[in-house]
Amino acid sequence: MTRQDAIKNIGHYIDDAMSTHEQPVTPRTTLVGWQCGFEPMFVAVNSYLDGCVVEEDEAVELATALLQEIKWFSDNQGPNEPDYVIRGTHDMNDKEPTTLDRINQILENLGPVADKMKLGVAMIAAKQYVESTEALLRDVFKHLQPVAWQEKYEAHLVAHCGKVPVTAKAIVAGSRWIPTNNGTYPEGCVQVHQTVTESVKVVTFSFKSGGFLIEWSVDKFLERYREVTEVEKNSTTYKLALFGFDDGPEILAFTAGDKWNGWGKPLVEKDSFVAFLKELRGGEDNQLFAFDGNKLMFYPYEPDEGEPKVEEIDPIEIEYKGATFTVYPVSMGLCWNQDYIRDLDLEDEYDVERWQNAHAPGGITTPPSQS
């Protein structure tokens, strides 16, 4: 099964922030497929972090969990192992590595060893080629040095993969973690749901942006995530993004980078939000939001029986590029579309028109700088 053939048979999409919207398929996309009679069906798995590739075993977990959620598997059989896994690559111009490519790369990293050892390594690699590269490396080092393979494996990761050796530490319920590589709080943040103890030997967690509960081994979790520091929790960097609903007006607002079930969480300035709401309702008063002095009142779609449910939203102050803005968090469980400035082409006429027509906070010009 070639990558191009698999792309023609994509039926579903998911990323590691649990968004299931249709997404661009690039060389970084991992394709996980199951044979359905005469035709295969693939799930395209992306990382929501720029330039990152979802690890093979994590991609399989995400794809399987998605298909379980939509009840794609037979009730009698449950989830099967995928028939195809076509890995993504970090190099946008790279081709899918062959088994021989993996073996040669491992032998190159190991340096000079005896011919019989090289033969043993090649045999292990050929036998385990369907495993991830790191799983294969563990087997290689077990074969080369049965006594101290773990230390040599970790040394290899530090020297050749830029990784830090795994160290034991407490994983407690409620703690927040971000990816070890390229993690910036709160983007990609996950929260642990159960403290790891002698009787609880797996890590149960979910993305702060929402989605399924995930269970990983302690080693796997500690290898890929690090705990968020207090400094990171207390020093949020805000970004500008376009927010709106399908085919409606858009508002330029701030975001801390976190999401709710894959949807945006805008922080809006009062005057621009009032103008946005007015255009959204075609000039009529909005039925969801209304200002009462400095407080923003939110009226849900389905109020409880009896008195209508009303939620008060207090303003907060944030710093953006040296200026202070008073904003209101208006996520409120709504499905806000979000596009970062960095993801749009400000030399494209359509994108520039979107920025120019967006309702912007005072002091922010459109199109704003992407820096």
The domains of the chain are located at 3-86, 99-161, 176-233, 239-357
The C-alpha angle 339, 54, 135, rounded to 5 degrees, equals 170
pTM: 0.45
Measured CA to CA, the distance from residue 368 to residue 371 in angstroms comes to 9
How would residue 369 be classed by pLDDT, with cut points 50, 70 and 90?
A: low
Least confident window among 113-127, 185-199, 299-313, 352-366: 113-127
pLDDT tens-place string over residues 284-317: 666 788 888 888 988 875 545 555 678 888 898 8
Residue 33 is given by DSSP the state E
Q: What is the pLDDT of residue 30?
A: 94
8 burial level (CB within 10 Å; 0-12, 13-18, 19+):
exposed
Measured CA to CA, the distance from residue 267 to residue 355 in angstroms comes to 17
